[in-house]
């Protein structure tokens, strides 16, 4: 490791030389109170900024060890420190002059959720912060004096004001960690009390606008109906009253614009912890919950959807269903089976974004079209068995389909953003109407050991070639991608497959596939786009970026393996747990902007590739 003074000398030596001279600065430098690592130097002032890291010894940083003894506490503390460092560097970004991105100091900008991020983490020995700097230039001429301002003036000030416990408000740091402990306690209580979710009194569920995730000002605060009220004794906050949504089937009914979808959206985001002041800090949902919806046009590979769809025209085998262009019903059926495979215990569904023919068939329709002529077994007829035989709860927003009242355990009504428990009133109405049965025969969960191909090729004319390893354990045969799309013709262009390279397990050396994040909703790997726009519990583009690296890592390390998708995701999660999120990047200078997606979103990503 070099001394800070050596870096000063090197900067003076390259001043006003060509921009490539900056490459000589790569390396680590001892700044006494911290270590500065210049990990990667950009090629020119208009390219992606250079990547830098700062290491502060944990003992020197001085954060209390009781704040770092458990993973969720470390995550909460790293999130707080990252936000503090971000505020500090924002004062100095672009204060140094130059062309293009000269003077930029860029760092991850977290939203309302608390996530594991590559930008800031506590290792066993250090507090590590990763960020970007635009190395200054006039045209393509080095401006060493401007970079010296950043490295020797701006950054040390930021480090001293945000990466040392003594410089931060001790009460705020404590509150961030204590909030995470309270949230973790509630998650544990969900299982103990048989709850699918908890919504605290006083929670602010509406958001500021459709494009803002901040809480709405002057919104109606949440208040639990007395019949569903639960009071929890939290480790730090103490007694907290709120609504406990019991496991089973829960309906959220009510008129339009009264808050049904707002409550569901809050529950959907409740799989993550939130920062203080968000309004949803104490909206806690089973962390395996998955928001399900119809997704016309998505790719499906070898999914057993026979629980919901059978006897398709032409004799297509729905136990190994594949298509490049799914219909609404087949996509929703596949999403349920894929979510079961990912270990989900709770489904969140909004009638508005579901395929009507997948959700229900009314009595008149059943009279007109005989049951043996309809391939779809609606979700209405499977939801009860999913809970009673598989332990999968459902929270469903309904606005027009009354049949679901017959199978519900709990019925909530949203009335001007106030929550009412109308379960007893609905039961009285149903008794007056007489009994109805909504349960289909032949309930059997599919095998959960599906092997998903991560190698293969794409024919640019539209046909996808899928290797014969696409199968369920104990079954063989090739999936006919594109042909069995249930009433649709295969589209295929730029969907699925991969430009296979030899896997690392064979010791081959090769160039990494190129990955590029396209916002929160998609990414490309080489020339193929993975569309995640309807994976609604992705909350940050940094999660999407992480998914692109996870997919690339899986392709290059496990592409030729016979691991099931479940076993593959297990391996990826083990690696991240032991070595950190940056481990899946296979790079000496990992990106500064990755956030950990949940297991459910990893499955969703791989299933759409």
Q: What is the dihedral of CA 310, 315, 319, 324, to 10 degrees?
A: -100
Q: Does the structure show a pLDDT above 80 at 597?
A: yes
Output the pLDDT for position 500.
31
Average pLDDT of the segment spanning 43-55: 94
pLDDT band at 477 (very low <50, low <70, confident <90, very high): very low
Torsion sign (Cα): 516, 519, 523, 528 = negative
For 135-168, write each residue's pLDDT tens digit. 999 999 999 999 999 999 999 999 999 999 999 9
Take residue 350 and report the two structure tokens written for it: 């909004």
Which pTM value belongs to this model? Answer: 0.89
Q: Please state, for a pLDDT cut of 90, what percent of the chain lies above it.
A: 80
Rg (CA), the chain: 27
pLDDT averaged over every residue in the chain: 89
Give the residue with greater pLDDT, 503 vs 604: 604
Average pLDDT of the segment spanning 578-604: 92
Residue 243: CA count within 13 A, CB half-sphere: 24
For 172-223, write each residue's pLDDT tens digit. 999 999 999 999 999 999 999 999 999 999 999 999 998 899 999 999 999 9
pLDDT band at 455 (very low <50, low <70, confident <90, very high): low
For 210-225, write each residue's pLDDT tens digit. 889 999 999 999 999 9
Lowest-confidence pick of 47-56, 353-362, 420-429, 585-594:
585-594
CA distance 11 to 460: 50
Output the pLDDT for position 316.
83
- Residue 179, Cβ density class (10 Å: 0-12 exposed, 13-18 middle, ≥19 buried): buried
Q: Does the structure show a pLDDT above 80 at 125?
A: yes
Output the pLDDT for position 449.
82
Measure the N-to-C terminal CA separation of the chain; round to a whole number of Å.
43
Output the pLDDT for position 110.
97
Output the pLDDT for position 276.
97
For 262-313, write each residue's pLDDT tens digit. 999 999 999 999 999 999 999 999 999 999 999 999 999 999 999 999 988 8
CA distance 556 to 548: 12
Q: Does the structure show a pLDDT above 70 at 339?
A: yes
Output the pLDDT for position 501.
31
Give the residue with greater pLDDT, 506 vs 555: 555
Output the pLDDT for position 510.
55
Residue 25: CA count within 13 A, CB half-sphere: 31
Q: Does the structure show a pLDDT above 80 at 347?
A: yes
- What is the SS3 assignment for 293? coil
Q: Does the structure show a pLDDT above 70 at 345?
A: yes
Q: Does the structure show a pLDDT above 80 at 462?
A: no
Output the pLDDT for position 70.
97
Output the pLDDT for position 454.
82
pLDDT band at 437 (very low <50, low <70, confident <90, very high): confident
CA distance 227 to 585: 50
Residue 562: CA count within 13 A, CB half-sphere: 7
Lowest-confidence pick of 9-23, 222-236, 449-463, 566-580:
449-463
Q: Does the structure show a pLDDT above 80 at 472?
A: no
Query: Are the beta carbons of 44 and 141 closer than 8 angstroms?
Result: no
Average pLDDT of the segment spanning 119-148: 96
Strand (E) or helix (H) holding 85: helix 71-90
Take residue 436 and report the two structure tokens written for it: 């109805």
Q: Does the structure show a pLDDT above 70 at 234?
A: yes
Average pLDDT of the segment spanning 542-555: 96
């Amino acid at each position: 490791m070099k001394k800070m003074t050596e870096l000063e000398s090197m900067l003076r030596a390259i001043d006003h030389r060509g921009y490539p001279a900056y490459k000589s600065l790569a390396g680590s430098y001892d700044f006494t109170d911290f270590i500065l690592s210049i990990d990667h130097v950009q090629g020119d002032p208009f390219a992606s900024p250079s990547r830098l890291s700062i290491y502060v010894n944990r003992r020197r940083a001085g954060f209390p060890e009781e704040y770092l003894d458990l993973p969720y506490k470390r995550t909460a503390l790293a999130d707080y420190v990252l936000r503090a460092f971000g505020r500090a560097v924002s004062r100095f970004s672009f204060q140094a002059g130059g062309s293009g991105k000269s003077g930029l100091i860029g760092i991850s900008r977290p939203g309302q959720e608390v996530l594991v991020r590559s930008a800031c983490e506590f290792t066993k020995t250090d507090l590590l912060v990763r960020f970007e700097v635009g190395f200054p230039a006039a045209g393509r001429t080095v401006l060493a004096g401007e970079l010296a301002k950043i490295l020797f003036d701006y950054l040390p000030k930021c480090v001293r004001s945000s990466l040392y416990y003594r410089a931060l408000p001790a009460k705020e740091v404590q509150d961030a960690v204590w909030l995470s402990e309270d949230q973790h306690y509630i998650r544990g209580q969900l299982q103990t009390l048989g709850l699918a979710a908890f919504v605290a009194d006083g929670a602010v569920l509406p958001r500021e606008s459709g494009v803002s995730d901040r809480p709405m000002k002057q919104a109606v605060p949440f208040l639990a109906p007395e019949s569903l009220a639960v009071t929890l004794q939290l480790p730090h906050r103490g007694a907290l009253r709120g609504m406990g949504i019991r496991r089973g089937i829960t309906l959220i009914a009510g008129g339009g614009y009264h808050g049904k979808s707002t409550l569901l959206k809050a529950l959907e985001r409740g799989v993550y912890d939130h920062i203080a002041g968000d309004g949803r800090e104490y909206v806690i949902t089973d962390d395996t919950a998955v928001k399900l919806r119809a997704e016309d046009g998505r790719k499906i590979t070898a999914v057993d959807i026979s629980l919901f769809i059978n006897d398709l025209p032409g004799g297509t085998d729905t136990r190994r269903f594949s298509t490049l262009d799914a219909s609404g019903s087949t996509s929703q059926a596949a999403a349920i089976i894929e979510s079961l495979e990912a270990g989900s215990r709770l489904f969140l569904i909004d009638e508005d974004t579901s395929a009507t023919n997948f959700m229900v068939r009314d009595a008149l329709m059943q009279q007109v079209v005989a049951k043996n002529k309809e391939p779809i077994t609606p979700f209405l007829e499977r939801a009860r068995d999913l809970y009673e035989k598989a332990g999968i709860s459902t929270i469903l927003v309904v606005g027009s389909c009354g049949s679901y009242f017959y199978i519900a355990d709990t019925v909530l009504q949203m009335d001007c953003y106030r929550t009412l428990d109308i379960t007893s009133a609905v039961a009285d109405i149903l008794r007056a109407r007489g009994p109805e049965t909504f349960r289909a025969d032949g309930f059997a969960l599919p095998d959960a050991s599906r092997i998903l191909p991560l190698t293969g090729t794409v024919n640019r004319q539209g046909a996808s070639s899928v290797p014969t390893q696409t199968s369920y354990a104990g079954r063989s045969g090739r999936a006919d991608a594109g042909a069995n799309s249930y009433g649709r013709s295969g589209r295929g262009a730029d969907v699925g497959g991969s430009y296979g390279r030899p896997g690392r397990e064979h010791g081959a050396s090769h160039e990494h596939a190129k990955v590029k994040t396209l916002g929160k909703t998609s990414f490309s790997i080489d020339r193929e786009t993975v569309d995640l726009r309807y994976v609604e519990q992705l909350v940050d583009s940094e999660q999407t970026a992480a998914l692109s690296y996870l997919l690339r890592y899986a392709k290059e390390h496990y592409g030729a393996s016979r691991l099931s998708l479940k076993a593959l995701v297990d391996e990826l999660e083990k690696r991240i747990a032991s070595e950190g999120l940056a481990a899946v990047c296979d790079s000496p200078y990992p990106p500064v902007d990755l956030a950990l997606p949940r297991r459910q979103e990893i499955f969703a990503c791989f299933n759409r590739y």
